[in-house]
Amino acid sequence: MDSFELNKIAGAVLAALLIIVASRTFIEIATAPHGGGEHAVVGYELPKPTGDAGGENAAAGGDSTAAGAPAAGFDAAKVASLVDSASAEKGAKLFSKCKACHTNEQGGANKVGPHLWGVVGRPKGAVEDFKYSEAMKAKGGNWDNEALAHFLHKPKEYMEGTKMIFSGFSSDADVADMVAYLNTLK
């Protein structure tokens, strides 16, 4: 048998496999339910926590809300009360997530976001030469520990329409550490 015969045999085997796979795929597509019906669920549903399942996590300094759950369980006042005992050093490390858009130096330049030097106590939307979103301009008030905690937890929930793209810190301890760090920028 020469190599030409081997090539013909290999081609026939590959063609047969291609026909089998293509026809199976076509049949699966043709018989799959389309809209209006119930969708098949792959796997199984994980059990939901019952009672005070978040208590251990909250005691460990974490956020007691489940990931993806609404922040109804987030208490900005409680987190603001933790700021005095929070670690500004840990907050400085967490600030690395913010450096792409914000500066933390006195007289620092505005980037995608405004500079954060002196942010605590400053009126919202008050940095000159920075173009704030309409939502930020309309919010009013000053950046106190509670407002910063709520904003850093879920910016788009605190201020719908904000241009800030960061999704927020989920841990109460991380939020308190960040606010403690921002309090040092004076």
Encode pLDDT of 37-88 as tens digits: 555 566 767 777 765 444 444 444 444 433 333 445 788 899 989 999 999 9
Please report where in the chains the tokens 């030097």 appear, as a residue: 117
Can you give the residue ranges of every domain in the chain? Answer: 1-31, 75-184
Contact 163, 133 (CB under 8 A): yes
Encode pLDDT of 127-178 as tens digits: 888 899 988 988 889 999 999 999 999 999 989 988 888 889 989 999 999 9
**CATH 1.10.760.10 at 75-184, yes or no:** yes
The pLDDT value given to residue 119: 93
In the DSSP assignment, the letter for residue 74 is -
Look up the pTM and report it. Answer: 0.60
Which helix (DSSP H) or strand (DSSP E) does residue 89 occupy?
helix 88-94
The pLDDT value given to residue 153: 93
Helix then strand count (H, E) for the chain reads 8, 0
The pLDDT value given to residue 37: 53
Encode pLDDT of 4-31 as tens digits: 899 999 999 999 999 999 999 999 888 8
Encode pLDDT of 38-50 as tens digits: 555 667 677 777 6
User: How wide is the angle at C-alpha 153 spanned by C-alphas 87 and 149, nearest 5°?
Assistant: 55
The pLDDT value given to residue 57: 42
User: How wide is the angle at C-alpha 84 spanned by C-alphas 81 and 99, nearest 5°?
Assistant: 100
* Backbone conformation region of residue 123, classed left if phi is above 0, alpha if psi is from -120 to 50, else beta: beta
The pLDDT value given to residue 33: 67
